[in-house]
């Protein structure tokens, strides 16, 4: 089966490798290829490829290939690898995982120009490679062109002793690797060799493995969790499901929705208002934040969040966010202001800073939420003052630019919809007043006899504030008078 966008040099090498190693294309590329070829969905491109290779294993312990079929790429074909031809068994701890060995051979065959980047991750036996598509076609990579990302993993099995924590991992078979996936539509594999027992298959055929009914759910355009403990093991699968709803237009299967809601009703991770931020598994908070970032940055977030709220799943973050109905407007304004959307979503939580800590939001977003809360406090204090708060543009400017605040905090207050009496001056400051500069320079003031030091800075600030008031007065004078009623 032809894979659009795959470099012509790569597929023959992968097929040759698959003769000696059980090597398969897995994940989103298989799903999208079937949607495109069989169900005629638009081709969404090929941003990355996920490949899985089996270790030669016994009881979860990896062994090297002891037969002459162990392969290495030499001069365009796969030949026995000298380091793999030793007959003695070697512990998995003494030998790189199969994915690492295969990735090194691919780079050796294709060359560093075509594979400029290779990074190995020992904990899970995975490798990331970047393929320069321009070099693959004999062209220079142009500005804006993206490399093809290739993720190569050793087949593994996973177990979750503690709900929401990182799984325990062991090397396993390709079937084990498919069984650890999130949804049936992602639990299919395309073996890069013909199916066994099919003599009619051409030599360049591939064999589709679908042990969990993924094709059936593709036809129904349904998302179905792979097993009854999917949400309990890893709640981030719920956010991933919302991403697929937004991207593919699928719906959640009824039994999967029932699993989601029944699991969240028990909510064993203790995320309640007032609980210590560290009570929930730290790994869960990190993974939720990563999925949330992908949802907000790469997907049609309005559709994805609507799905999550409809499922009752925004309580994964906070009960107040689940009940919130203002997030579409808030996030739309945050996007216009260039604010980080995770912070704008978290702003509706009962305790935004505690949730930011649980999710381990970046320092910039945590700081933004702190400044926004400080701004709300200062606005409330100003409104309760005897003079009923600032009146002149210069007074508003002084408040909004007081120590501890930032322009982003004002933008977040606008996005969150401060009261109508406060919104207008905040918006005027954002659009106009903050850009006004002092009409006098330090050189001008020195020429007038102002001595250098704190007084000079104070006079510059005062001149700017006066200019802001004058600008607003001139605007009011230019405003046409309202027609009088007779």
Residue carrying structure tokens 């959640």: 252
Residues 6+ apart with CB under 8 A from 110: 9, 10, 13, 131
Whole-Å CA distances, 28 to 147, 356, 449: 17, 30, 71
Report the share of the chain in percent with pLDDT over 70: 80
- How far apart CA 296 and CA 278 sit, in angstroms, is 25
- How far apart CA 481 and CA 358 sit, in angstroms, is 54
Whole-Å CA distances, 51 to 99, 114, 207, 396, 406: 9, 18, 14, 58, 46
pLDDT at 307: 98
Contact assessment for residue 355 and residue 315, using Cβ atoms and an 8 Å cutoff: no
Answer positive or negative: Cα dihedral of 159, 162, 163, 169: negative
pLDDT at 3: 74
pLDDT at 440: 83
Burial of 233 (0-12, 13-18, 19+ CB in 10 A): buried
What confidence tens digit (pLDDT) does each residue in 151-182 have? 999 999 999 888 888 889 898 999 999 999 99
Q: Hey, which of 11-15, 27-31, 40-44, 473-477 has the most confident mean pLDDT?
A: 27-31
pLDDT at 441: 84
Residues 6+ apart with CB under 8 A from 88: 66
Q: Say what the alpha-carbon torsion angle 78, 83, 85, 90 is, to the nearest 10 degrees.
A: -130
Output 186 or 483, whichever has higher pLDDT.
Answer: 186
Q: Tell me phi and psi for residue 74, to 5 degrees.
A: -135, 120
- How far apart CA 144 and CA 331 sit, in angstroms, is 28
Does the pLDDT at position 278 exceed 70? no
What confidence tens digit (pLDDT) does each residue in 199-252 have? 556 656 678 999 999 999 999 999 999 999 999 999 999 999 999 999 999 999
Residue carrying structure tokens 């064993």: 268
Least confident range from 134-148, 190-204, 308-322, 430-444: namely 134-148
- How far apart CA 225 and CA 259 sit, in angstroms, is 9
**Structure tokens that stand for 211 in this block:** 């042990």
Does the pLDDT at position 58 exceed 60? no
- How far apart CA 94 and CA 83 sit, in angstroms, is 13
Output 409 or 131, whichever has higher pLDDT.
Answer: 409
Output 435 or 201, whichever has higher pLDDT.
Answer: 435
pLDDT at 84: 41
Does the pLDDT at position 345 exceed 70? yes
| Helices H / strands E in the chain, number of each | 21, 15
Over range 456-462, report the average pLDDT: 85
- Band of pLDDT at residue 192, cut at 50, 70 and 90: confident
DSSP conformation class of 162: S
Over range 312-319, report the average pLDDT: 93
Over range 305-321, report the average pLDDT: 95
The residues that bridge with 149 in the sheet, in sequence order, are: 48, 130
- Band of pLDDT at residue 267, cut at 50, 70 and 90: low
pTM of the model: 0.82
- How far apart CA 363 and CA 387 sit, in angstroms, is 37
Over range 60-68, report the average pLDDT: 31
Does the pLDDT at position 91 exceed 60? no
pLDDT at 135: 61
Does the pLDDT at position 272 exceed 60? no
Q: Tell me phi and psi for residue 208, to 5 degrees.
A: -85, 130
pLDDT at 90: 38
Output 110 or 323, whichever has higher pLDDT.
Answer: 323
Over range 275-297, report the average pLDDT: 82
Contact assessment for residue 56 and residue 84, using Cβ atoms and an 8 Å cutoff: no
Does the pLDDT at position 76 exceed 60? no
Q: Report CA 353 to chain centroid distance, whole Å.
A: 21
Give first-to-last CA distance, the chain, whole Å. 80
* Residue 119: its H or E element: strand 117-121
- How far apart CA 100 and CA 85 sit, in angstroms, is 17
pLDDT, mean over the chain: 82
User: What would the DSSP string read from start to end of 377-436?
Assistant: HHHHHHHTSTT-S--SHHHHHHHHTSTT--HHHHHHHHHTT--HHHHHHHHHHHHTGGG-
Contact assessment for residue 438 and residue 461, using Cβ atoms and an 8 Å cutoff: yes
Over range 27-31, report the average pLDDT: 92
DSSP conformation class of 186: G
- Band of pLDDT at residue 269, cut at 50, 70 and 90: low
pLDDT at 222: 97
Q: What is the 3-state secondary structure (H, E, C) of 34-65?
A: HHHHCCCCCCCCCCEEEEEECCEEECCEEECC
Least confident range from 42-56, 206-220, 227-241, 359-373: namely 42-56
Does the pLDDT at position 13 exceed 70? yes
Q: Minimal CA–CA distance to 272: which of 349, 372, 367, 344?
A: 349
- How far apart CA 17 and CA 38 sit, in angstroms, is 27
Burial of 123 (0-12, 13-18, 19+ CB in 10 A): exposed
């Amino acid at each position: 089966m032809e894979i659009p966008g795959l470099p012509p040099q790569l597929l023959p090498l992968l097929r040759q490798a698959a003769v000696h190693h059980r090597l398969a294309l897995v994940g989103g590329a298989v799903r999208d290829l079937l949607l495109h070829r069989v169900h005629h969905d638009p081709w969404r491109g090929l941003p990355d490829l996920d490949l899985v290779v089996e270790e030669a294993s016994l009881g979860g312990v990896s062994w090297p290939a002891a037969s002459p079929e162990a392969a290495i790429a030499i001069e365009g074909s796969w030949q026995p690898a000298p380091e793999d031809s030793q007959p003695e068994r070697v512990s998995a701890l003494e030998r790189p995982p199969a994915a690492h060995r295969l990735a090194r051979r691919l780079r050796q065959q294709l060359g560093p120009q075509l594979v400029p980047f290779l990074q190995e991750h020992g904990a899970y036996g995975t490798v990331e490679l970047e393929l320069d598509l321009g070099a693959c076609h004999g062209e220079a990579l142009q500005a804006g062109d993206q490399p093809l990302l290739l993720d190569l993993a050793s087949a593994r099995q996973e177990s979750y002793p503690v709900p929401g924590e990182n799984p325990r991992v062991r090397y396993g078979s390709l079937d084990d690797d498919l069984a650890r996936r999130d949804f049936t539509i992602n639990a299919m594999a395309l073996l890069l060799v013909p199916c066994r027992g099919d003599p009619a298959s051409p030599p360049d055929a591939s064999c589709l493995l679908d042990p969990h009914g993924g094709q059936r759910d593709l036809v129904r355009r349904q998302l179905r969790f792979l097993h009854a403990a999917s949400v309990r093991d890893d709640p981030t699968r719920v956010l991933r499901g919302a991403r697929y709803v937004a991207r593919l237009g699928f719906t959640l299967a009824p039994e999967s929705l029932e699993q989601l809601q029944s699991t969240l009703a028990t909510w064993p991770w203790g995320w309640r208002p007032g609980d210590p931020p560290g009570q929930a598994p730290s790994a869960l908070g990190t993974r939720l934040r990563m999925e949330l970032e992908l949802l907000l940055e790469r997907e049609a977030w309005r559709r994805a969040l609507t799905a999550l709220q409809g499922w009752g799943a925004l309580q994964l973050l906070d009960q107040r966010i689940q009940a919130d109905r203002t997030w579409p407007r808030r996030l739309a304004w945050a996007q216009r202001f260039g604010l980080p959307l995770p912070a704008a979503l978290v702003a509706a939580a009962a305790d935004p800073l505690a949730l930011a800590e649980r999710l381990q939001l970046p320092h910039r977003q945590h700081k933004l939420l702190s400044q926004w809360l400080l701004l709300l406090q200062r606005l409330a204090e100003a409104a309760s003052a005897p003079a009923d708060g600032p009146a002149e543009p210069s007074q508003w400017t002084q408040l909004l630019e007081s120590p501890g605040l930032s322009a982003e905090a004002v933008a977040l207050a606008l996005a969150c919809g401060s009261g109508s009496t406060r919104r207008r001056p905040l918006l005027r400051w954002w659009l106009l007043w903050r850009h006004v500069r002092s009409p006098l320079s330090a050189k001008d003031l020195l020429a007038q006899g102002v001595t250098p030091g704190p007084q000079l800075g104070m006079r510059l600030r005062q001149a700017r504030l006066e200019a802001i008031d004058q600008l607003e007065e001139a605007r009011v004078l230019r405003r046409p008078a309202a027609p009088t009623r007779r």
